[in-house]
Structure 1
């Protein structure tokens, strides 16, 4: 296959919203979209080996619900990607389905779309914070019968609190974590503490935020902890049975990040022991299956990976992915790279320009 324009491999459904932008995008690049059948893992790997789609320069996944039929982007799959590929831009904030280290070592910049979903996810986290402080799972289901209504009306108040003045510990002060901190600080008057692998001193002043290099130290003083990091630095669970031991007794935990980062067994044990008095979980360890020990608890709010689920987010996913590819293939710096630190030195310096 020969073409005078760089080739972009479009995996997933056709563009749904940003048609004008896509028209410009398609005029700059040759866009090839494999069929659903070709995207199944054995067929996809075989097509890569055959160079069916030529020496493509970019991989484009504009939707989260399609384009992942080939499964995990691991060494087996990545080694078949042509050397010409320079960027992989995808919908979604998390990237636990792609080995960004191996991609980086191959010289492929991986760009996520967390910036497009930040507002939606931060808003959802605010709802879950309020749900855990005000026992909203209990309150919103109590009206089903007169007896449960009366029970909740009589007893929920003494177990509920205003968030104001309480300490919010945020794990990961990226786009989502920072926006969440702004909302919780401004709307609820919460005291902001955060843990991140990189300190963000320029963000601390307006939030009166406190940085903790030691995650366990932050957990010990937080009334509510929100997990807002897209991945664990070492690939392991961040919240497991050992980590739970460092939580403040009677605190709350919220996960709007990745379900794989948290042990559902550890959460259930902590709820049973009273270490946690409330949980708000939008993502789950083995979703779509939910740990049975977490279902039916009046102090646990469970949602179906809905935090980023707005039309605004999906429009942004499409647009940002195209912008990232256009930037890289026209010699500019990517907008939302996550793996530049894994690139070979020469490429890293060039990509950071």
Structure 2
């Protein structure tokens, strides 16, 4: 690395350990008090001429935004695994490297998915609402009953790092794991899970369905009225991946009709303002897109983004490059 510290921007305040590292190893403006949007980050980039910009979903860079980046920028380091907010081909075409933060958030995302599974099956949202109202009466033997998680059949769509981590946790609950993926895993990674090439063949066998795949850039939702109808009546849907994967009107209809017993959701089509009809449903357990929201994981994500900047400036391979 040269004697001059690299100049960087970040669109959000990072965790304390990362901010201390920036103070020591980089030249950067003070951390923003609120997340910067795209216009603000572009304006600051032209004023500050950074070699790298650390971004999140708050400041998407697409189309004309990419063209508007100053020539000084050689790396966009997103503090996320997801790339929905970046036009990666356009960035690469401009000779701007892209990095993300895979692996370090796998366990916390899988933990949250298991929380959604358990909470949706055991009516956690309804129990919490009852208790906040003061409870007030004992429950009858057949009142407000949930479903046991142990021993159920879990279907997983998408078995990348997080999907496989969810499968490992499910085995601790003696669950029968099925999965659908673009391609079958190597048998050494299946660990007893059953592969279904056809989603339509897998869905009727699932008590619980959990989504762990990226949203298709040009495709529609994978969970529609048709695919929901293939699930057994009384099943549970969990989505800790992307809101665009689910037709929310079809989901609402399935929850209202009782075809779905419940749902556990961390992501929504319209964030941070989910459909009010979903918010009003008693049989949905919801979290605010918080899969990686632990001190340990968010710190590791920030540090990995900075590691990519350090590698770029030193002329070394990026630890976690995005190549397509």
TM-score tier by shorter-chain length is: 0.7 to 0.9
**What is the deviation of 1:326?**
2.6
Residue matched to 2:13: 13
TM alignment of 1:48-59, pairs within 5 A: 51-54=46-49, 56-59=50-53
Name the stretch that deviates more: 214-223 or 187-196.
214-223
Asked whether the 8 Å contact 2:38–2:60 carries over to 1, the reply is no
Per the normalisation by structure 1, the TM-score is 0.77
Residue matched to 1:73: 61
Q: What SS does structure 2 have at the residue aligned with 1:116?
A: coil
**1:143-194: CA deviation from partner (whole Å, max 9, x where unpaired):** 435566425x53234xx33223322122222222222111111x20112222
Structure 1 residue 140 and structure 2 residue 128: aligned?
yes
Give the Cα separation in 1 of the matches to 2:217 and 2:311: 27
Residue segments in structure 2 that go unaligned for 5+ positions in a row: none
TM alignment of 1:81-120, pairs within 5 A: 81-82=69-70, 85-120=73-108
1:150 aligned residue (139, 145, 164): 139
Name the stretch that deviates more: 109-118 or 260-269.
109-118
Residue matched to 1:264: 248
Residue matched to 2:180: 195
Residue matched to 1:223: 207
**What is the deviation of 1:85?**
4.0
Q: What SS does structure 1 have at the residue aligned with 2:16?
A: coil
Q: What SS does structure 2 have at the residue aligned with 1:200?
A: coil
Give the Cα separation in 1 of the matches to 2:38 and 2:31: 12
Structure 1 residue 311 and structure 2 residue 309: aligned?
no
RMSD, aligned CA? 3.2
Per the normalisation by structure 2, the TM-score is 0.83
**What is the deviation of 1:253?**
0.5
**1:106-156: CA deviation from partner (whole Å, max 9, x where unpaired):** 3444333243322222111111111222222233333435566425x5323
Residue matched to 1:177: 163
